[in-house]
C-alpha cells in the first residue's frame, strides 16, 4: 500500500486551471451537500409523519454510531502507530508479530471478525478459564465470569480490523521519509524513538493525514456492521423502526441521508486537509 | 592493553560485507587527536562505509573500533559515541520541517537536555561562525545548497563533538558554493578539530590534510602526506591511475 500523493502542481504556469478545478470541486460538493440538506429538511417539514418521527427515533442510534466511531478511532490510531513501527522494526520478532497481525486481519472480512469477537471469543475465554481451574483458581473464576459487553466487542473488533489497515498507512508514511533523516538524527546521538518522534513522524504526518482522514470516513460507514453484535447504532435503530412499522422505504431513506450528511461533511474536511498539505510543500 | 591517549580513533582489522559485496576488507587505521585525515579512492571503494562505521551507522562484521577510549561494541556506548562524533552528509540531511535554528537546537535539547535559551544562544553563535547568522529562521528549502551544508555543519558542532566526519560534503554543491563550505571546514581544522574527510577537493586536501588515505576495493592501499601527493611518489599503480584522474 502506498500513500497517495498528487503530482506537484506547476506554480509558475498560469494559475487559472488550478483555481478553476478547485471551484468546480467546491461547486459540486456544495451542490450535493445543500441538496441533501434541503431534501432532508423538506421531507421532515412536509411529512413530519413518518420522517420526523423516524429522525427522532434514530437520534439515539446516531449518538451511538458517532461514539463508537470516535472511541474506536482513537485506539485505531494508537494501534496503527505501534503496528506501523512494528512493521519496520529491525527486531525479527516484533516485525514478525506485526506482519502476521496485519496479514491475518486483512484476510478476514470485518463482519466475520465482529461475529468472532462477540460470539466465539467468550467460548475461548471460558475454555481458558476452565482449563485454569486447578492451577490458578482465582484467575479461572475471573475469566469464566467475563461477559462480553456489545460496545466493548464492537470497539475491540473495529480497532483490531482498522488498526491493521492503519498500520500499513503509518508504515508507508514512515517509509516515505528518506533514510538520511533517521541517520542524521541518530548521528547526533538521538535514540531511535527520539528520532522517530522529533524527526521522522512530524514529517510523515503530512503524508499520513489524508489517508487517515479517509479511514475515518470509511470507519464511520463500516461501524454500521456493529449493529449485528447487538449495538444499538444508527443502522440497528433503523432496523428496529422498520420492524415495528414496516415502512422500509422511508426508514432506509432517512438512515441513508443521515450517513450521507456526515460522510459528505467529513470528506470535505479531508479534501481540505489534503489541499493544505499539498500547497504547503 | 592500555589505550594510547592521543589515538582518538582506532580501527583494527575491520571487515564489512553487504550480502556478497565486500565493502571493507581488514581495514586498520588510527587517527590522532587534532589530526585531519582525508580519505580518497574510486567510487565503491568503501570510503563512506568506513566513515559510517566510525559512528556505527553501519555495524562491522569483524574487527574493533575504539573512539576516544570507548569501544563501539555494546548498544549503550553507541549513543554516547555518536554524540561525540559529528557527521556531515553529502546531501546535508537537514530536517525540512524545522528552521535552521531548530535544526541546530533539537539534539542539544533532546540528548543533552540543554535549556532552550542556552541551546538557542549556542545555535546563534554557530550560525554566525558558519557565516549565515541572518538565516536562523529560514527553512532548509529556503536555503542554497552551500547554506544548507553550513547549517548541517553547525548542527553537528552544536553537540560539541571531539571528532567530525565529512562524507563528500561538497560533491552535491554547485562550484560557486564549494568554497564557502570548505572555508568553514578549514577554520575547523585550524582550531584543532579532529576530522576524517572523504573528499576529492585537492585545494582542501593540500591546505588542511595531515595524512591522505587511499582506498580501493575495501582496502587501504596507500597512505601519504599532501607533500607526497604526486604521481611519481605513489608506489601503487592503482593509486597513480586514480590520482591522475583527480589531479588533472
Ligand atoms: N546499504 C548498502 N547495501 C548494499 N550495498 C552497499 C550498501 N552501502 C554500500 N554498499 C556497497 O558497498 C561498497 C562500498 O560502498 P561505499 O558507499 O562505502 O563506497 P564509496 O567509496 O563511498 O563510494 P562513492 O565514492 O560512490 O560514495 C559498494 O560496492 C556499495 O555498492
Ligand atoms: Mg560514498
Q: Which residue has the cell 531548530?
A: B102
Q: Report whether pLDDT(B57) > 60.
A: yes
CA of B25 to the centre of ligand 1 (A): 13
Yes or no: say if A98 and A87 are a contact pair by the CB < 8 Å rule.
Answer: yes
* Rounded Cα–Cα distance for residues B165 and B82 (Å): 11
Cα torsion A205, A206, A212, A213: sign: positive
Note the pLDDT of residue A223. Answer: 96
Q: Is B159 on the interface with A (CB under 8 A)?
A: yes
Note the pLDDT of residue B118. Answer: 96
Contact A186 B96 (CB under 8 A): no
Consecutive H or E run containing B89:
none
pLDDT band at residue B73 using 50, 70 and 90 as cut-offs: confident
For residue A178, what is the nearest residue in chain B, using CA coordinates?
B93
Q: Report whether pLDDT(B75) > 70.
A: no
CA of B15 to the centre of ligand 1 (A): 13
Residue range B151-180, pLDDT digits in tens = 999 999 999 999 999 999 999 999 889 999
Residue range A130-165, pLDDT digits in tens = 888 888 888 888 888 888 899 999 999 999 999 999
A184: closest CA of chain B, how far (Å): 6
pLDDT band at residue B70 using 50, 70 and 90 as cut-offs: confident
Strand partners, B39: B198, B213
Residue nearest to atom 7 of ligand 1 (CA): B18
Helix or strand or coil: residue B194? strand
Contact B87 A184 (CB under 8 A): yes
For residue B54, what is the nearest residue in chain A, using CA coordinates?
A187
- 3-class DSSP string for A174-238: HHCCCHHHHHHHHHCCCCHHHHHHHHHHHHHHHHHHHHHHHHHHHHHHHHHHHHHHCCCCHHHHH
Q: Which residue has the cell 470507519?
A: A219
Lowest mean pLDDT among A1-10, A173-182, B36-45, B50-59: A1-10
Best to test chain A binding among B78, B84, B95 (most A CBs inside 10 Å): B95
Residue among B16, B23, B168, B213 whose CB has most ligand 1 atoms within 8 A, to mutate:
B23
* Rounded Cα–Cα distance for residues A58 and B19 (Å): 62
Residue A268's Cβ-side half-sphere holds a number of Cα atoms within 13 Å equal to 16
Please report residues of A whose CB lies closer than 8 A to that of B167: none
DSSP assignment of B25-69, as one string? Answer: EEEEEEEETT-EEEEE--TTSSHHHHHHHHTTSS--SEEEEEETT
Note the pLDDT of residue A14. Answer: 43
Which ipTM was obtained for this model?
Answer: 0.91
Note the pLDDT of residue B79. Answer: 80
Contact A194 B110 (CB under 8 A): yes
Q: Which residue has the cell 481451574?
A: A133
Domains and CATH numbers, chain A: 28-280 (1.10.3720.10)
Please report residues of A whose CB lies closer than 8 A to that of B87: 184, 187
Q: Report whether pLDDT(B34) > 50.
A: yes
* Rounded Cα–Cα distance for residues B248 and B243 (Å): 8
Within a 10 A sphere around the Cβ of A137, how many other Cβ atoms? 11
* Rounded Cα–Cα distance for residues B99 and B137 (Å): 5
**What angle, rounded to 10 degrees, do the helices at A201-222 and A48-87 form?**
140
Yes or no: say if B169 and B140 are a contact pair by the CB < 8 Å rule.
Answer: no
Residue range A79-109, pLDDT digits in tens = 999 999 999 999 999 999 999 999 999 999 9
Question: What is the average pLDDT value for chain B, to the nearest integer?
Answer: 90
Yes or no: say if B60 and B53 are a contact pair by the CB < 8 Å rule.
Answer: yes
Strand partners, B198: B39, B167
A80, A88, A184, A218 from A200: Cα distances, Å: 16, 13, 11, 27
CA of B136 to the centre of ligand 2 (A): 30
Please report residues of A whose CB lies closer than 8 A to that of B84: 189
Q: Which residue has the cell 466475520?
A: A112
Question: What is the average pLDDT value for chain A, to the nearest integer?
Answer: 88
Yes or no: say if B9 and B29 are a contact pair by the CB < 8 Å rule.
Answer: yes
B159: closest CA of chain A, how far (Å): 7
Yes or no: say if B27 and B1 are a contact pair by the CB < 8 Å rule.
Answer: no
Q: Report whether pLDDT(A226) > 70.
A: yes
Strand partners, B150: none
pLDDT band at residue A17 using 50, 70 and 90 as cut-offs: low
Measure the CA dihedral A146/A147/A150/A151, to 10°: -40
Residue B33's Cβ-side half-sphere holds a number of Cα atoms within 13 Å equal to 10
pLDDT band at residue A61 using 50, 70 and 90 as cut-offs: very high
Amino acid at each position: 500500500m502506498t500513500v497517495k500523493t498528487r503530482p506537484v502542481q506547476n506554480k509558475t504556469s498560469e494559475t487559472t486551471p488550478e483555481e478553476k478545478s478547485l471551484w468546480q470541486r467546491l461547486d459540486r460538493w456544495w451542490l450535493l451537500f445543500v441538496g441533501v440538506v434541503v431534501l432532508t429538511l423538506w421531507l421532515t417539514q412536509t411529512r413530519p409523519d413518518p420522517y420526523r418521527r423516524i429522525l427522532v427515533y434514530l437520534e439515539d442510534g446516531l449518538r451511538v454510531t458517532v461514539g463508537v466511531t470516535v472511541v474506536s478511532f482513537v485506539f485505531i490510531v494508537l494501534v496503527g502507530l505501534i503496528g506501523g513501527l512494528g512493521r519496520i522494526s529491525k527486531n525479527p520478532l516484533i516485525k514478525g508479530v506485526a506482519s502476521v497481525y496485519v496479514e491475518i486481519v486483512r484476510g478476514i472480512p470485518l463482519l466475520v471478525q465482529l461475529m468472532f469477537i462477540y460470539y466465539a471469543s467468550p467460548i475461548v475465554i471460558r475454555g481458558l478459564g476452565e482449563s485454569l481451574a486447578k492451577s490458578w483458581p482465582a484467575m479461572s473464576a475471573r475469566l469464566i465470569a467475563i461477559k462480553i459487553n456489545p460496545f466493548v466487542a464492537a470497539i475491540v473488533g473495529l480497532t483490531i480490523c482498522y488498526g491493521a489497515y492503519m498500520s500499513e498507512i503509518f508504515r508507508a508514511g514512515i517509509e516515505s521519509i528518506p533514510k538520511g533523516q533517521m541517520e542524521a538524527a541518530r548521528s547526533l546521538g538521538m535514540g531511535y524513538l527520539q528520532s522517530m518522534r522529533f524527526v521522522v513522524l512530524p514529517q510523515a504526518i503530512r503524508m499520513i493525514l489524508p489517508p487517515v482522514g479517509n479511514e475515518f470516513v470509511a470507519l464511520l460507514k463500516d461501524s454500521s456492521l456493529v449493529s449485528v453484535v447487538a449495538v444499538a447504532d444508527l443502522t440497528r435503530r433503523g432496523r428496529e423502526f422498520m420492524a415495528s412499522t414496516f415502512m422500509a422505504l422511508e426508514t432506509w431513506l432517512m438512515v441513508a441521508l443521515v450517513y450521507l450528511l456526515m460522510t459528505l461533511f467529513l470528506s470535505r474536511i479531508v479534501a481540505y486537509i489534503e489541499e493544505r498539505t499539498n500547497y504547503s510543500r | 592493553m592500555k589505550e594510547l591517549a592521543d589515538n582518538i580513533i582506532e580501527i583494527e582489522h575491520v571487515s564489512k560485507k553487504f550480502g556478497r559485496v565486500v565493502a571493507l576488507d581488514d581495514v586498520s587505521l588510527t587517527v590522532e587527536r587534532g589530526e585531519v585525515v582525508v580519505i580518497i579512492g574510486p567510487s565503491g571503494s568503501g570510503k563512506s562505509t568506513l566513515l559510517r562505521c566510525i559512528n556505527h551507522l553501519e555495524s562491522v562484521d569483524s574487527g574493533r573500533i575504539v573512539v576516544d577510549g570507548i569501544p563501539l561494541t555494546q548498544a549503550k556506548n553507541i549513543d554516547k559515541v555518536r554524540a561525540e562524533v559529528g557527521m556531515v552528509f553529502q546531501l546535508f540531511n537537514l530536517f525540512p520541517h524545522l528552521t535552521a535554528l531548530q535544526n541546530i537546537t533539537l539534539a542539544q535539547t533532546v540528548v543533552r537536555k540543554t535549556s532552550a535559551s542556552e541551546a538557542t544562544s549556542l545555535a546563534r553563535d554557530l550560525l554566525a561562525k558558519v557565516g549565515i547568522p541572518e538565516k536562523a529562521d529560514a527553512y532548509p528549502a529556503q536555503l542554497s545548497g552551500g547554506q544548507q551544508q553550513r547549517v548541517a555543519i553547525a548542527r553537528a558542532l552544536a553537540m560539541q563533538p571531539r571528532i567530525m566526519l565529512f562524507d563528500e560534503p561538497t560533491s552535491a554543491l554547485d562550484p560557486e558554493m564549494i568554497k564557502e563550505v570548505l572555508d568553514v571546514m578549514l577554520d575547523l581544522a585550524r582550531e584543532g578539530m579532529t576530522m576524517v574527510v572523504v573528499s576529492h577537493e585537492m585545494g582542501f586536501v593540500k591546505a588542511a590534510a595531515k595524512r591522505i588515505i587511499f582506498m580501493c576495493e575495501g582496502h587501504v592501499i596507500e597512505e601519504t602526506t599532501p607533500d607526497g601527493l604526486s604521481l611519481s611518489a605513489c608506489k601503487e599503480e592503482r593509486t597513480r591511475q586514480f590520482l591522475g584522474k583527480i589531479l588533472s
